[in-house]
Structure 1
Amino acid sequence: MTVRQQIIAALSEDSHGGIASLADVAHAEQLVDAHRAEVITALAEEAERRLSVGRSHTVSKAAVVRFLRLEASTARVAVTEREKSSRPADATPDFFQPGRTYQRRRWHFQCLAVAPNPFSGETHAVGYLYRPGEPATATALSPDDWAHGGWTDIATTGKDGA
């Protein structure tokens, strides 16, 4: 289900969780479409303000695509931050956290930052990957690394592997 469909479903539910009426669904679709028009208008205004015109009075396709991807990744980060702030303090994190060190078997990962890739928008954790007593390598780990890597927060386990 797309985010648009989720919003429409949520807006058109009655107090018991069922669909109130077809008119409510139509109204929810109108609200979502109106919001989309507002967002696109604001994005166009921001693009006009921030993108510079070349000699031929055009903007390169690459510049527009980078701008749109950057704006989309900024919006995703804002959503993620809102989700994090609404979670209980003792909730299990769903990705690496800056300032924390994680362990997977003999490997350690010291997370320095979490940021979206400016071209794809995919969030990566940036930091140092190392085994205790050996040189560290700067690297970026993806959500797949988190989901399938078996990483544990050293502060949580009390182990430092040294």
Structure 2
Amino acid sequence: MTDNNSTDTPTSPWVAYLASPDGWVYSSADDAAADLGPEEEVRIGIARGTAAPIEEDGGLRLPTGSYTAGDQAFEFETYIDGEGDESQSAATRYAQAVAMAAGLNVVAGLPMVAVERPDDEHIEVHVNGQVVASANHDEHGWDGMDAVEKTALAVARAFGAEVAA
């Protein structure tokens, strides 16, 4: 079995993260603002392997301690609201980090998995831009939609794919 946390492993995907100063990871700047407040600082970066977020206490958190050299592309701090400058806001900077991580993964030849919800009652799973699974509330119910998403994410992570959700 391959260890995706090793820098020797080319399948360790680069991931963008937006985290609180103490390392708790948020899925969006809106979530961070709701939890921390719009004028607080956050950490934004790109990491893989030993520096990538890990599941801890029911959420994602940046690893504490040291990590393998080369597993972090960059990290910086910014304010959620960008101190009034939208181009410096966490939402803008996080979107840039997500795009950069995707670019690094494309260059490395890693697959890209995207989970999209065109609306509240539909979900689609894309691999390298191609729809590979879908579900809707009328046919599959909320539990079916949830199962499609969880399965797609689990398979993608097991194969070391970059996941855009």
More helix per residue = 1
Do they superpose with TM above 0.5?
no
**Greater gyration radius:** 1
TM-score (norm 2): 0.27
Higher relative contact order (CA 8 A, sep 6+): 2
